[in-house]
Structure 1
Amino acid sequence: MEWIPTVFVAFKLIVLGIGMFFAIKWHYDQGKKGKENERRAVLRASGKVAAIFVVSLLAVGLLAFVLIDKLGM
């Protein structure tokens, strides 16, 4: 068996492992900053999404009711 693929695969795994460690650490550290503002923004965005969902649900229900009435079902 040749040793070059073994060395390259081991090197690749080590480099990717170190990169993943520092990426996770960076994201964790960024998550600690501005936690209150982020929570407020997430709540506001989820409220908007919920409102859009309810309006869309009502529109689809109304469309289905009108279509059923037109087709005489």
Structure 2
Amino acid sequence: MMEWIPVVLVTFKLLVLGAGMFFAIKWHYDQGKKEKEKKKEVRAVLRASGNAAVVFALSLLGLGFVTFALGRMLDLDLTMP
């Protein structure tokens, strides 16, 4: 009986360490995957923010042109003093 204890304990130790290494490698792999997805999300948010800024600037410019056109149509004095 005594000669089986080292065999059982070494086998158990190898199983536990093997499972630990497997899950450590899997965790690191998943973290790398998350980081890549996070970078893609950041790019998408920046692209959407840029698009919103461009749309806002163009809308503001268009509103200015419409305002001046309406002012001229109504014969308002739009000259700078």
TM range (shorter): 0.5 to 0.7
TM-score w.r.t. length of structure 1:
0.54
Identity of aligned residues (%): 47
Q: How does 1:20-39 map to 2 (within 5 A)?
A: 34-39=37-42
TM-score w.r.t. length of structure 2:
0.49
Distance in 2 between residues matched to 1:33 and 1:39, nearest whole Å = 10
For structure 2, which runs of at least 5 residues remain unmatched after alignment? Answer: 1-33, 77-81
Please tell me the residue identity of whatever aligns with 2:46.
L
Deviation of the 1:32 alpha carbon: 7.0
Give the ranges of 4+ consecutive aligned residues of structure 1 lying more than 4 Å apart after TM superposition. Answer: none
Structure 2 partner of 1:67: 70
Deviation of the 1:53 alpha carbon: 0.6
Please tell me the residue identity of whatever aligns with 2:63.
V
Deviation of the 1:34 alpha carbon: 1.6
Q: How does 1:13-52 map to 2 (within 5 A)?
A: 34-52=37-55
Which structure has more RCO (C-alpha within 8 Å, separation ≥ 6)? 2
Structure 2 partner of 1:8: none
For structure 1, which runs of at least 5 residues remain unmatched after alignment? Answer: 1-30
* Partner secondary structure for residue 34 of structure 1: helix
Distance in 1 between residues matched to 2:40 and 2:71, nearest whole Å = 47
Distance in 1 between residues matched to 2:70 and 2:60, nearest whole Å = 15
